[in-house]
Structure 1
């Protein structure tokens, strides 16, 4: 058993842990990162964001190639699902190697194992081969991430029942699938499988998809999923899941029974706060394993911070990285960088993508703010016509009197890239943050960015 002391110990090496560790190290603190995996990167790199988005890209390329004359004659024309998922392995390896160099360059020690608090300033780390490290620190930042939620009455050991982690290990392509849960993860995976021609039932426990988004964007997504052939069932809850030799039967409380080859459970995630000894320190944890924190990401024990998915919403890799830097800045300098958590864009990798920043129409109406709307339909843009990706739109919400930008919402190909133009202008002060920027700026032609000029002119026509 060895014992070492550091200024800061970070638990988890995903985006939140990396952001926190790099900030503390660059400020001259001695930092140790503890992670359960042999390689850094967290769930984001190994089981969630990177592999699923790499898989999505592979599926899109495969679907596009199916329309190339003569492609079906190729012996590789029909890859298995396992073949498609393995395309992500090279991306994961490159990401892991790159992130490992970050820790090495900044002299951050990385320890593999599971951390558990012995007291407010000490953790023991159980290593895979049985050795125990005892590490002490003046402060801690917990960035342990999350995992798919498993209700106790669903048998996830059944070979036809998957979650968003284990689905990456599925080898053969199913003919039919039930996706239970129509949040971000359910909609992303559902659209991927539907692109591959899998017969899909998307079960939503609420009355609409992704209700935190702008209503018009939600309606566009629902229409497009149905147009692809996806059957969406709203306001449904499961009664029982029965795994069989030839498929899975989902019994719903409404009395419906749905059978498919496989079930993908995508109904929520659980924070990885269990087994860390936090309860003994008086740190509050909710029923989904999320650690409760204040505006500085401090727990009820002030020198112990928590960031990323383990604190819950918004559960975005991009937000987690900023939260890590935010917590580290407060830890090192004692100040709050509130701008780090303002106007975080959402990126939802359905097909097509969705991305939003700022307020929705629903929020502006409730707040009594006089706003107007500018639209640009992708089908009218030359670049979209050239690429053939004409599904989607850009929507700008702005103050009717001052023309201040209030929200930008995009549905369509590369929405998660397009949104950042609007985000950059929204972050400006005063008159720089108005609709007139897009009217008075020359955009390359033809580009998708031109959608901002089209939407701005459309909005001005509603005002003047």
Structure 2
């Protein structure tokens, strides 16, 4: 095949959330954009995050329908994974068509294939050489696997495979109890599958406050998840149609399926980075500055593949999108900054966890005698209407004299309802006292945030 040449203002490698956001913004600013993509459009943001949240919603609906004392007797709740797989595939196709429409309307050139650097100003893909004054690497990440483990995608799965399950099974062992592990443990338990969750740490979600970890562990256990702490996996193998998980303490767990959820590694190994002078860091990540520039200034890296030197550089779709736009703004010399202190997040476990800003632990380390209030879901009228009493909203503000909101954590059904408001207030330095006289709809879940503020101000008793 003869090679051809193409020039553009910006060449983007990877059409996940970060690459897509960068491409759309760059095109809106008049840049000629070429988007090179070796996988599905929107990457894991669609084929992983969307599908897993689709599974979550279906599982949550089943869990709610099975609750006793709701005035009706549920029936016909057998789980048909083939139908679930078909529904998720249909949704993925629909969203892909919407995305293709965006690209067409914005006149973004899409090249299907894996891009590889030839030199700092040229990439090659399918025999074509693409040259540009600026490049953006947005190749994302892939699941990390245990050394020596053969993942077949059916009995032994990663997060890339588990969203495409199309047949039922009875038991699942989840190796790794981070966010992904906790989410899928919740989902499959709600589908009626027996789940064992293995955590190498001594508490779940150890990056969060101990009270949240203890609360989630209690609910997981009550829901039927068998949580094992300090559990290090030695090997995983298929034996007689079952999956055998051998732990370092010599104990053995037999299950129908195993999900390995031990983190992700950056997809940078096929880019031929030595041709650019960029040297990747640990787990393949590319170190970048606050403008998303690599050590080669005209080459940027965003999303999971790029790593800023901040503990708040989280692997989240909305952060990846913000980084993509930030990089393009820097190329165009448009002033912009990515403020990380308010970043909202959602953990799609059951119950849901959502937050913005600092944990109570970090807030005390940084600011000392901070003020903290919890408003229990059991005191909220809307939660009572839902007959959903587990959880709370925790509001963390500065020490006396400093009324800034430092962090918020919400646990419970639809906990994400309070986080958008919280993140905006944190980002703009709006004091918690603003909540005292603001008017929230009733009955709503956001009233819990307001009532937590009233507890701090002394206008409401902490407990009943």
Check whether TM > 0.5: yes
User: What is the CA deviation profile of residues 53-90 of structure 1, one whole-angstrom value per residue up to 9, with x for unaligned ones?
Assistant: 01111122233334584642x4xx42322322322223
Aligned 8 A contact 1:82 1:169 in 2: no
Partner of 2:262: 267
Partner of 2:86: 86
- Partner SS state of residue 87, structure 1: helix
CA distance in 2, matches of 1:13, 1:295: 22
User: What is the CA deviation profile of residues 274-318 of structure 1, one whole-angstrom value per residue up to 9, with x for unaligned ones?
Assistant: 111013322122342211112211111111100001125411001
Structure 1 residue aligned with 2:135, among 123, 130, 140? 140
CA distance in 2, matches of 1:61, 1:369: 42
Aligned 8 A contact 1:214 1:409 in 2: no
Per-residue deviation, 1:365: 2.0
Partner of 1:99: 99
Partner of 1:233: 228
Partner of 2:310: none
Partner of 1:129: none
User: What is the CA deviation profile of residues 247-286 of structure 1, one whole-angstrom value per residue up to 9, with x for unaligned ones?
Assistant: 1111111222111111100011111111110133221223
Give runs of aligned pairs for residues 17-56 of structure 1, distance below 5 A.
17-37=19-39, 39-46=40-47, 48-56=48-56
CA 1:374–1:2: 2 relative to 1, 3 Å: same
Aligned 8 A contact 1:372 1:463 in 2: no
CA distance in 1, matches of 2:306, 2:183: 22
CA 1:323–1:342: 2 relative to 1, 3 Å: farther
User: What is the CA deviation profile of residues 9-49 of structure 1, one whole-angstrom value per residue up to 9, with x for unaligned ones?
Assistant: 11111111112112211221111111113x52222112x11
CA 1:192–1:158: 2 relative to 1, 3 Å: closer
CA distance in 1, matches of 2:58, 2:338: 38
Structure 2 residue aligned with 1:163, among 144, 158, 163? 158
CA distance in 2, matches of 1:97, 1:462: 52
Give runs of aligned pairs for residues 29-428 of structure 1, distance below 5 A.
29-37=31-39, 39-46=40-47, 48-66=48-66, 69=72, 71-72=74-75, 74=76, 77-126=77-126, 132-157=127-152, 159-311=154-306, 313-333=313-333, 335-339=335-339, 341-401=340-400, 402-428=402-428
Partner of 1:440: 437
Aligned 8 A contact 1:10 1:34 in 2: yes
TM-score, scaled relative to structure 1: 0.92
- Partner SS state of residue 100, structure 1: helix
TM-score, scaled relative to structure 2: 0.92
Aligned 8 A contact 2:154 2:161 in 1: no
Cα RMSD of the aligned pairs, angstroms, is 2.0
Partner of 1:14: 16
CA distance in 2, matches of 1:245, 1:32: 50
CA 1:191–1:441: 2 relative to 1, 3 Å: same
The answer to whether residue 451 in structure 2 is matched with residue 454 in structure 1 is yes
Aligned 8 A contact 1:213 1:356 in 2: no
CA distance in 1, matches of 2:208, 2:421: 19
CA distance in 2, matches of 1:371, 1:27: 44
CA distance in 1, matches of 2:79, 2:350: 20
Per-residue deviation, 1:416: 2.2
CA distance in 1, matches of 2:343, 2:398: 20
Partner of 1:2: 4
CA distance in 1, matches of 2:291, 2:159: 31
- Partner SS state of residue 269, structure 2: coil
CA 1:158–1:105: 2 relative to 1, 3 Å: closer
Structure 2, unaligned stretches of length 5 or more? Answer: 308-312
CA distance in 2, matches of 1:457, 1:346: 24
Aligned 8 A contact 2:278 2:296 in 1: yes
CA distance in 2, matches of 1:365, 1:154: 42
CA distance in 1, matches of 2:285, 2:157: 23
Per-residue deviation, 1:426: 1.7
Per-residue deviation, 1:223: 1.6
CA distance in 1, matches of 2:73, 2:354: 36
Moved segments of 4+, more than 4 Å: 66-71
Aligned 8 A contact 1:249 1:260 in 2: yes
CA distance in 2, matches of 1:301, 1:347: 34
